[in-house]
A and B are shown apart, each in its own frame.
Chain A
Amino acid sequence: MPVEYLKETPSQTGGPYVHIGTLPAFAGLAVRTQEKPHILDGAGERIRITGVVIDGSGTPVKDALLELWQADAQGRHNAGDFLGWGRAAASSETGEWMFETVRPGAVPWRDGRPQAPHVSLLIFARGINIHLHTRIYFPEDKAALELDPVLRSIEQAGRRATLVAERGDAADMPTYRFTIRLQGDAETVFFDM
C-alpha cells in the first residue's frame, strides 16, 4: 500500500457571480466599496497592465476574474508593506481588465538561475472548472527572456511569445497589453505548478 495522504478538495467553477464574494462592489453590493484590489501600492516604478480574456470563438470573456501575484521592485515576496497580490474583474461590457502595480524585480528560480521579471496570473470564470495559471513577462527584458528557465521549459519555442506583454502608449506610466487566449491557434501557455 502506498502512503496515504488526504486528497485535495476538488475545484469547481467560480461561476458567473464570482464577484459577489470576491469584488462585491463590482457585483452591485454596497459593501467594501472603498476597495481597489487591482491597484497595488508599493515602492518602485509604477506600471499598468491591461488585457482581455478571449474564448475559443474569439469572444471576450466578460465575467472573468483575474488574480495577480508578484515580487516587489527588489524581487522579494512578502517583504515590507507590499502585499504583492491583486484582483481585477473583466468589464461586463467589454471584457477589459486592468492592474496598476510596481514593476517587479527579478526573482531567482529554484536552482538559483535568474528568472526574467514577471507577474503570475490566475484566471477564474464561468466555464473554467479549475483556474488557469499563467505568467506575464515584459518585452524590454530581451536578454533575460532568452535565459528565463520557465520560458525555456516550454518545448514549443513559438508558444513562449504568448506570455510576453506588448508595450503600449500612455503618458502617465509604462503600460502593457496582455491578451489571454483560452483556446485556439495562439492559445496562451498555462502552467501546472
Chain B
Amino acid sequence: MTGLLSGARGDIMRRDRTQHPPALTPQYKTSVLRSPRRALVSLEPGPGENAGPVFNARILAPLENDLIRNYSKDGDAQGERIIVHGKVLDENARPVPNTLIEVWQANAGGRYRHKNDSYLAPLDPNFGGQGRCMTDAEGNYFFRTIRPGPYPWRNNGSDWRPAHIHISLFGHAFVQRLVSQLYFEGDPLIPFCPIIGTLPDKGAVERLVAKLDMGNAVPFDALAYRFDIVLRGRRQTFFENKPEGM
C-alpha cells in the first residue's frame, strides 16, 4: 500500500536552501533567538520521510474554500472580492494531485481573527480568515476570498506587512511539507518588508507574488490572481531498489 508513494518511486530531491530564507535573519527580529546556531544534519530521507499523511477530501466542508461565505453571519465578508487559483507542481513539473492546502489571512482592514491580535482595525463579523481546499487530479486548486489589508507589526517601528495570504501544503512526502506566504502583484510594501527580505534570492521573492489574472476574473463579481506552487520533486531510483536497472 505504501509502495507507490514511498518505495517504488525514488527519493525526494534535496532541498535547495539557497531558495529559502536562512534561519538567522536579524532584520526580522524574532529570528535572532529562534534560529539554531548549529548546522542542520544533512541526510538522505528514509522510507518514513519519503512517505507522508494522506488526507481524505471528505474532511472538507462545502464552503471551506470560500472565505467570503464560510464565516458568514448575516452576509458576505467586506472587501475586494478575489479568486486565488493555480497549480501545484513538483520540481519535475509534474502536477501534485489530491493534496491538502490550508490558507489563513487578515481581513480587508488588516485585522486577524485571533485571540492574540489586538490591532485597532475592526474585525469583520462575516469574515473568519481561514480556508482549506484540495488539489484536483491535475494539481489545480482555487479559493475565493477578500484581498487582505496590510497591517503594522512590532519589528521596527515603521514596519507594515504587505497584503499577504499564508499558505500551507503537504505534498505526498513528509519532507515536501511547506508553509509560505502569497503576496500580490504591484504591492509597493513588498520591497520594504523584513520578512520578505529574509529571502536571499530576488527571483525567489518574485515566485511568491501572485499575478493579476484578468482572464479568470468573474465579471461584476471578483478579480482573480494566479499563484502556482512548486514542491520538492522526486528523483528516479537508479540503483538502490530496482533489480533490473532503468
Contact = CB atoms under 8 A, between A and B. Distances in A.
Do A and B interact?
Answer: yes
Interface of A: 5-22, 24, 27-29, 31, 55-57, 59, 61, 63, 67, 69-71, 76-79, 83-85, 92, 107-110, 115, 120, 122, 124-133, 150, 153-154, 159, 182-184, 187-193
B217 to A, nearest CB: 24
Contacts of B54: 78, 83
B51 A78 contact: yes
Nearest to B93: A6
Contacts of B29: 127
Nearest to A71: B48
Chain A interface mostly: loop
B170 to A, nearest CB: 9
A55 B51 CA distance: 30
B20 interface: yes
Contacts of B130: 20-21, 24, 27, 29, 31
Contact of A20 (B17, B104, B180, B240): B104
B156 to A, nearest CB: 15
Given A8-B231, A11-B180, A132 B47 contact: no
5 contacts: A10-B201, A69-B174, A85-B52, A127-B33, A129-B21
A79 B46 contact: no
A98 B102 CA distance: 22
Majority DSSP secondary structure for residues of B touching A = loop
Interface residues of B, number: 86
A10 B44 CA distance: 21
Contact of B36 (A57, A120, A131, A187): A187
B53 A84 contact: yes
Of A11, A76, A182, most buried by chain B (CB within 10 Å of CB) is A11
A12 B195 contact: yes
Contacts of A29: 71, 113, 128-130
Contacts of B30: 126-127
